[in-house]
Structure formats: C-alpha cells, structure tokens
Amino acid sequence: MSKRYDTIVVGAGPAGLTAALYTGRSKLNAVVIERGLPGGELLNTKDIEDYPGFEHVGGMELAELMTKHAQKFGTEFVTDVVTAIRRNPGASDPFERWIVECESGGVYLAPTVIFTAGGTANKLGVPGEVELAGRGVSYCAICDGAFFQDEVIAVVGGGDAAVEEGEFLTRYGKRVYLIHRRAAFRAQKVIQERALRNPKIEVIWNTVVKAIEGDGTGVKRLILQGTRRPDGEYDFEGVGPTRELAVTGIFVFVGFSPNVHLIKEHADHDAVGYLLTDNRMETSLEGLFAAGDVRSQLVRQITTAVGDATTAVMAAEKEITELRERVSGVAGERVT
C-alpha cells in the first residue's frame, strides 16, 4: 500500500535532518527515509570544530541534537532502504508525480522529493581489499579504531577525512602511517598541522597501495609502490619496485561517490556524477531537489549541507503551494 506526502526526504545526514526540521516547521506532511541511524557521515566523525555555535562537538552528539530538534516538529522518520526514485507516469494526480520505492516494499508518493542521500565510500580496488573487509580493512575510524589498540595502522588518502581520522587513530594505534599518492595533502591547513605535529604519525608521500595481504586472522601487510616517475610526473598506477609495510589495519579515505543511482530518471549532473541544481536546489527534473553531498558544488561541509536543505525546503514549499492553487483553480473552473 502506498502513502502520500507533501514531500519525501531521502537520507538523514545533516542535510536530511535540516530538511526534516524545516518541513516540520512549515507544517508540511513530510517523511524522512533513512537506512540506518540518523546522522549520516556525522556518525563517522569524532570531532567537529567548524560548525557555528560549537567550538567543539562530537559527530554523534551533533547528530543526536539535530535529530531531536527535527523530531520536535513532528516530521515522520522511517527506517528503510530506498531502492528507486522515479517519476510516476501513470499518476493523474499531480500530488503523486514522484514515487519512492523501498526494500521493504514500502511505496511513497509526493509532488516533491528532497534528495540528500550523500555518497558511498570509494574503494581502492586492490587485491585483498574485499576479502579482508571487516578483518583489518575499514572505512570508518570511529567505528573500528578501538579494535587496533597498540597496533600499527595505515590510513590512505590526502583529504580532510584521511588526515583527521589518521590523527584520531593515534588514540589507539602505537604508529599510524598516512599514505598519500602525492607530495602534499589536500586537507585544510589546520588539520594538516595538527596531524603532522603528532609523534605517532609518519607520512609516506608519493605512494599507492598495490595490494593488501593477510590471512584468516586479518591484515598483515601492505604492498606499496611509488608514484613519481624519473621525470617528476605522477603515475598513480605505481612505478618502480614494490615494498612491504607491516600493518594490522588499513583505513581507506579516498573520497565518496554520490548515491545518484537511486534516481531512475536522467537528471543533469557534472562529470563526476554530482547533481546540478539551480539556486533553488531544484534539479533538471521538476519537483526533485538535491541538498548536501549529492549536489555539485565547490565544498562539501556540514554548513553547506544545512544551507542547501534550508533552501530546498523553502523552494519545495513554494512549489507545493503553487501546485495546490493551480489544482484548486482548475477544480473551481470545472464547478462553474
């Protein structure tokens, strides 16, 4: 059986939770569908120091605060896995023009959808990664760091997440190697400086992981290879001889891919796949709005996700109001 709403929010990270808050305050009949606990990537972030009003707050704490704030205004939350978002071609009612299907069999109808489903962690794609996932290979430091007390750990990546989580992992590991394929990090300077001052961290520059090796008990070593050719150019496939690095854990932070595969219609996107929107956060598909990490933009921060979602809800509310007026006007004409 299907359920009808004014808007359906897909995802409950910072953008989705903000959308939940604003739909509730706007008295819209809305539902938020999230596959797990609300919070998204906040749940994988230990320390947050760049969200206005909080000099320091834990990711889980902020997620809980945002969730409680949204729930205060009555927006419905559903735990389920969204499998498809599509236009409803058979709908004669414009308030059922979008359909969201879920793994449980649940079907949701609405004139607007606010898509905030974020992304999925990118994999290295090297031998041993899949086989040793959960047995030394991880994509979440806060989830798995405690399993590596007094062990040697590697972190792969050069952005904010990699450097920040590398420093976090020094709370557990006796040595943390930061492996980056270039000669400089892309992370914010303040994050870099804090990590580079940590005596437990050692950086391995200009290097890629070629394989992850282990046995039934877990990861034992990494096979590494340099990325700089003799002419100084980079070759990210690796050049020169390989070498081994003994570790018992490897944490991979090499970016995210937007979860746009859930949208079963063609929506305009950039070269990487992030959705293109106008200044109202509406995509090229009428009634489909995008906010947060799924949207093409310069930076992806909690603050930008929150701003995106605020705009998306206000625009969706305006579109719903106009749609009601059009439908009401047509009904009035028919009566007369």
Spatial separation of the C-alpha atoms in residues 13 and 247, rounded to whole Å? 32
Across the range 320-330, mean pLDDT stands at 85
Among 32-46, 182-196, 267-281, whose mean pLDDT is lowest?
A: 32-46
Query: What pLDDT does 61 receive?
Result: 95
Instruction: Tell me, yes or no, if the pTM score tops 0.85.
Output: no
Rounded to the nearest 10°, the torsion over CA 322, 323, 327, 330 is: 60
**Higher confidence at residue 231 or residue 154?**
154
Rounded to the nearest 10°, the torsion over CA 6, 10, 14, 19 is: -10
Spatial separation of the C-alpha atoms in residues 128 and 293, rounded to whole Å? 29
Query: What pLDDT does 330 receive?
Result: 60
Per-residue pLDDT reduced to its tens digit, 16-68:
999 999 999 999 999 999 999 999 888 877 778 889 999 989 889 999 999 99
Query: What pLDDT does 335 receive?
Result: 43
Query: What pLDDT does 45 receive?
Result: 75
Spatial separation of the C-alpha atoms in residues 53 and 105, rounded to whole Å? 41
For residue 260, give the nearest of 296, 214, 209 by alpha carbon.
Answer: 296
183 dihedral zone (left: phi>0; alpha: psi -120 to 50; beta): alpha
Query: What pLDDT does 334 receive?
Result: 44
Partnered with residue 251 across adjacent β-strands are 138, 155
Query: What pLDDT does 141 receive?
Result: 86
% of residues, the chain, pLDDT over 70: 98
**Sign of the alpha-carbon dihedral angle for 130, 135, 221, 184:** positive
Give yes or no for residue 185 having a pLDDT over 90. yes
Among 63-77, 96-110, 134-148, whose mean pLDDT is lowest?
A: 134-148
Spatial separation of the C-alpha atoms in residues 270 and 161, rounded to whole Å? 23
Per-residue pLDDT reduced to its tens digit, 127-181:
999 999 889 999 888 778 889 999 999 999 999 989 999 999 999 999 999 999 9
Token couple for 216: 């039934």
For residue 207, give the nearest of 170, 244, 159, 161 by alpha carbon.
Answer: 244
Give yes or no for residue 336 having a pLDDT over 50. no
In the chain, the domains with their CATH numbers are 2-120+255-335 (3.50.50.60), 123-252 (3.50.50.60)
